[in-house]
Structure 1
Amino acid sequence: MSNASPAGGLTALKTNPPGFTTADAERIARELYGIDAGATLLFGERDQNFRLRPAQGPGAVLKLYNAHEDPAIVDFQIKALDHLALQDPGLPVPRLLATRAGERSARIEGPDGAGHIACAITFLPGKLLEDVQPDAALLRDIGRTVARLDKALRGFFHPAAGQKIAWDIRRAGELRPFAALIGDPAVAAAVARVLERTVERLPAFAALRGQVIHNDCNPGNVLVDAAGAPAVAGIIDFGDMIHGPLMFDLALAAAEAAGEGMGAIESAQEVIAGYSAVLPLQEDEIALLFDAIAARFASTFAIFAWRQRHDRRGADKLERFERSELPVFEQLLSAGPQAAANAFRKAAGLSSSLPVAATPKPPAQMPGASSEALIARRRRLLGSGLELSYERPVHLLRGEGVWLWDADGRRYLDAYNNVPNVGHAHPHVVEAVARQSALLNTNTRYLHETVLDFAERLCAGMPAGLEVCAFVNCGSEANDIAWRIAKAHTGGTGALVMENAYHGGTEAVAALSPYGVSASDVAPHVRTLEAPDLYRGRFRASDPGAASGYAEAADRALASLMAAGHRPAAAMIDSAFISSGILDLPNGYLQAVAEKVRAAGGLFIADEVQYGFGRSGSHFWGFDFQGAVPDIVTMGKPVGNGHPLGVVVTRREILKSFTDRTDYFSTFGGNPVSAAAGLAVLEVLEREGLQENARATGAYFRQGVEALMARHAAIGDVRGTGLVMGVELVRDRKTQEPAPDWTRRVANLMREQGVLIGTEGPRHNVLKIRPPLCFRREHADIAIEALDRALAAI
């Protein structure tokens, strides 16, 4: 039996279970669990499951895992079952049994000499759903039970939830080649079309509510009452759990549960009605439910077709599945997505007159609290100087991924906020913060592994030598401490920053932030560098000497500092050049400035609050993208996805120069909860491939905006790399006259269309686009269309 996997080793295409006999299972049950019982082999896709029948009692199921199974996946299943037992004790799912030694699992040697993991769970009596034809009442109970399961899993997370598994319908692109293996050309073509459509829907799936889900509530994993009552007796087999859209669990349950005398849509409606009675659905989930159900069918056909070539048992499974489910699949496709969405919406108790793209309302409303009243209250309590975005300020109540909802339930696409770096309310970050908050949060004078784990993980991604951290609570504090460290190490007092720079709000850093400040008002120990602006500066993109020409400003600034009695301590530069208007730098500029500052005895501080953590797409850090190596790196709230956290990373001898002179301590900088948030962000960035997404989506986004230049003369320049972009608006491309009023107007018009962006630049004429890193092509299309309409209206 072949174990070849042309789909890159997707779990579930590797189907070699262990070779334990029933006698082996009986012995293992006795030795490990003290259970004297006869064993019967049950079906297992990649593991072995044995029913243990003792002389008395319901018995148990012994699970013997494939030798190739990642122990983390086994731990994932064990932790999930423990979590469910606490959250919903009455939920009909298996309960774990402890070994005689009190362990949840044990290592055993298999007949092949390989090491395997064994665990035992309670046996749930009942009949498999695949052996009965359910009525409407049973279908509704299936929906209710799956919803209970999802509610109980809410808030649970495990690092193995990102397992790469073929039964995750988001892997449709990797299954597309297998459609050609299906013998019936018409079925093969239908499966290929659905898989292609599924790939196109991936960005929309990414915007849905997400959490850990069972991901396999099919009729082979659902037990029903053996006496015939319309009730679910159990949900089993947690081996395909993933972190994914919550709606997938409903889609998989609705896909194959064909009711007696019912068509595909009618059967699905009953499951949906039961589910939404326990866990109400949102409009964006309803709109994509047809695609998820169709994708489940198509993925199953593709996987079984692959197995037909590589696994003898696969041929039988494909034939059985085609016999029972092909008519349902064809009925579903015949109905089409719009008719299905209307039927599903009705089943969920939502108005069928609503458009498919309608927006869910947030769970909380603020009736009677008008924007005018809130603005007046804000000014009374917070003062009148605190800025609000847009002519009509937005009253937001919640966020998820790249979406924000206001008090009226309207949804906005967030193309502006970089603080929720991996997406608003990312479940893994939320769970990490909640879990650690429930355990411990205290000052930083105690030992804690999570703090060290986070520091170690963060420094591992830095250039050699940048190996020690100082934790604070925000970017302003990080830049403040970095400046103090630089002065202590160099003995200097002078600083170089960019014109119009912004680095924070403490007194020391405010002096390094001449944002909107005239040259005459800059602090005496600070010198500013002209922006290396290739669009409207002294040197343009066509000038091969632009980098050295702009970098010469550092020579003049350093000489001026020395003449005024200030030895240089550091140059602090935002590697994204956001407040300069989001610039495309001449190659080598930042490196040249850093070298000049070091030659004069100072340090180079890279402010990575805006550009760090993969935002450029091609590099994890902005300074790396610019080809420079800093002496100190600073980070702010995006490092914790909005949780109050700032970090300074530097070389050991540099930090020692500071701590030898100063009894530095931050009470809550890098506390256990903050460290948990930071570590979770790094895990999400890696697991979800958000740096690569920034590269691909950013390139697509920029190309789309550049294409608008042919229709809108107001666009003078488009700049940026990855998921940060500046669009400079001008009244005349030839004279480059700035158009700040048009820029404000476009930002407000886009807000009215439900897309949030900002404005930036020394002339206030640059549209600032800087979304969370989970922003995808589908979202870029929405923003491009809104920008197109806004520009047409000015």
Structure 2
Amino acid sequence: MSQINQTLRKWNKPAFSEMQAIGLVEREFGLSVSEIKPLPSYDDQNFHLWVACSEGNEGGVEEYVLKITNCEESQNPGLVEVQTRVMMFLRAEGFPVATPRFTKKGEIMFIESIDVGSATQGYLVRLLTYLPGRTVATVPVSPPILYEVGQLAAKLDKTLAEKFHHPLIKHLHRDTFIWNLANVPLLEQYIPALNQSRDLEVVKRVIEQFKLIIVPKLSKFRPCINHGDLNDHNILLDTHSASPESPRYRVSGILDFSDMSYGYYVFEVAITIMYMMIESEDPLGVGGHVLAGFESIVPLTTEERDALFLLVSGRFAQSLVMAAHTILLHPENKEYLMITAKTGWKHLAKLFEMGQEGVEKIWFETAKRYT
């Protein structure tokens, strides 16, 4: 990568100061910020804000997330707008998702330009409602929660496929988007970031099998719009038990729609299974519970079920390779970027050690018990 290109990629992630963020909110939304805290993120920049409540709730505070989109996606405002319209639609349909606060001009987002190096870069800015709760990554996840997460993934995709219509929906056809699961073969350009030969060989094996087996079958999968990133940090849980000593959890929030794109139903369940494995004490057992929940809403076809093992493996490869690549660009964000890698390499190696038949036996027999 040339020095110029590397510098441009470093600018991809916004780097607004807290004072700049507060200034944006006060200027564009007319809100008085009482407290601000940075939130971890992959390539966007997020702040958790506390602001004084509007009239009628004197003395109270409201919470928001200020989301500043990376410069690459900021150059495609149609994409960001349709993602935001999807969030508004899903909220109206009863899904627990954030919605945007409109600016003083009545807009759901705006461009803020700042100087970066010797150039000026524009970033799309939105103020979203804050969703409270604990992330799946922070609690021991039980089979009932995994089942509910699987159900939620299927309901989300099915609702969008059947009911969502918008003139900007064409922007969700992201044919070269690296996080679309169909694009596992595009990882080949990023694998030089892997230094360990054993990890490199596993990823090469995943890519080759994906090209050989999955790519020719894509036309047989049922298409839909995917959230695309239902990971253990993007799903929130809330307690609904009277006993604090033995809390029971339910899904209370879905975060981050920036990876949304056209894909297939089987992509969503594969992505969800992969991410639910990350912090699990029984990672191989996760898939059956998520699959059972998903299939209670959208049963998979034979072709889709046969592809599940390689699709889960493909998502592991995407997450691990792109984390290694992004760390080279943003070493200061290494701790957040390494979240999946801490257990991900081990899980991917275990999948291939057991093989497709052995893993599917666990998943499918677990799912069958629900029916």
Specify the structure having the higher radius of gyration (Cα).
1
The structure 1 residue matched to 2:276, chosen from 244, 257, 266, is 257
| Post-superposition CA distance 1:282-315 (Å, at most 9, x none) | 2221111111100000111211222243331465
Taking a change above 3 Å as real, the CA distance of residues 314 and 197 of structure 1, as seen in their structure-2 partners, is farther
SS in 2 for 1:285: helix
How do residues 119-518 of structure 1 correspond to structure 2 at under 5 angstroms?
A: 119-155=126-162, 156=164, 158-163=169-174, 164-200=176-212, 201-225=214-238, 228-258=247-277, 262-313=281-332, 315-317=334-336, 319-349=338-368
Long gaps (5+) in structure 1: 353-794
Counterpart Cα distance in 2 of 1:116 and 1:259: 32
Taking a change above 3 Å as real, the CA distance of residues 234 and 15 of structure 1, as seen in their structure-2 partners, is farther
SS in 2 for 1:121: strand
Deviation at 1:260, TM superposition (A): 7.6
Higher relative contact order, structure no. (Cα contacts within 8 Å, ≥ 6 residues apart)? 2
Counterpart Cα distance in 2 of 1:183 and 1:140: 37
Counterpart Cα distance in 2 of 1:107 and 1:23: 17
Counterpart Cα distance in 1 of 2:370 and 2:302: 10
Deviation at 1:15, TM superposition (A): 6.8
Percent identity, aligned pairs only, is 24
SS in 1 for 2:125: strand
Counterpart Cα distance in 2 of 1:343 and 1:15: 44
| Equivalent residues of 2:277, 2:284 under 8 A apart | no
Long gaps (5+) in structure 2: 53-59
Counterpart Cα distance in 1 of 2:268 and 2:51: 34
Instruction: Check if 1:27 corresponds to 2:23.
Output: yes
Counterpart Cα distance in 2 of 1:120 and 1:23: 16
Structure-1-length-normalised TM-score:
0.41
Paired residue type of 2:204: A
Q: Mean alpha-carbon deviation: is it higher for 229-238 or for 172-181?
A: 172-181
Instruction: Check if 1:42 corresponds to 2:39.
Output: yes
Deviation at 1:318, TM superposition (A): 5.8
| Equivalent residues of 2:158, 2:224 under 8 A apart | no
Counterpart Cα distance in 2 of 1:350 and 1:162: 37
Taking a change above 3 Å as real, the CA distance of residues 147 and 15 of structure 1, as seen in their structure-2 partners, is farther
How do residues 741-780 of structure 1 correspond to structure 2 at under 5 angstroms?
A: none
| Equivalent residues of 1:182, 1:302 under 8 A apart | yes
User: For residue 63 of structure 1, what is the aligned residue in structure 2?
Assistant: 67
Taking a change above 3 Å as real, the CA distance of residues 233 and 85 of structure 1, as seen in their structure-2 partners, is closer
User: For residue 56 of structure 2, what is the aligned residue in structure 1?
Assistant: none
SS in 2 for 1:154: helix
RMSD: 2.8
Counterpart Cα distance in 2 of 1:133 and 1:325: 18
Counterpart Cα distance in 1 of 2:184 and 2:321: 9
| Equivalent residues of 1:141, 1:232 under 8 A apart | yes
| Post-superposition CA distance 1:485-505 (Å, at most 9, x none) | xxxxxxxxxxxxxxxxxxxxx
SS in 2 for 1:140: helix
Deviation at 1:317, TM superposition (A): 4.9
Deviation at 1:257, TM superposition (A): 1.1
| Post-superposition CA distance 1:445-484 (Å, at most 9, x none) | xxxxxxxxxxxxxxxxxxxxxxxxxxxxxxxxxxxxxxxx
Deviation at 1:347, TM superposition (A): 4.0
| Equivalent residues of 2:278, 2:344 under 8 A apart | no
Counterpart Cα distance in 1 of 2:125 and 2:221: 36
Q: How many residues align?
A: 344
Counterpart Cα distance in 2 of 1:142 and 1:58: 28
Instruction: Check if 1:83 corresponds to 2:94.
Output: no
User: For residue 18 of structure 1, what is the aligned residue in structure 2?
Assistant: 14
Taking a change above 3 Å as real, the CA distance of residues 19 and 351 of structure 1, as seen in their structure-2 partners, is closer
Counterpart Cα distance in 2 of 1:311 and 1:260: 24
SS in 1 for 2:37: strand
Deviation at 1:45, TM superposition (A): 2.4
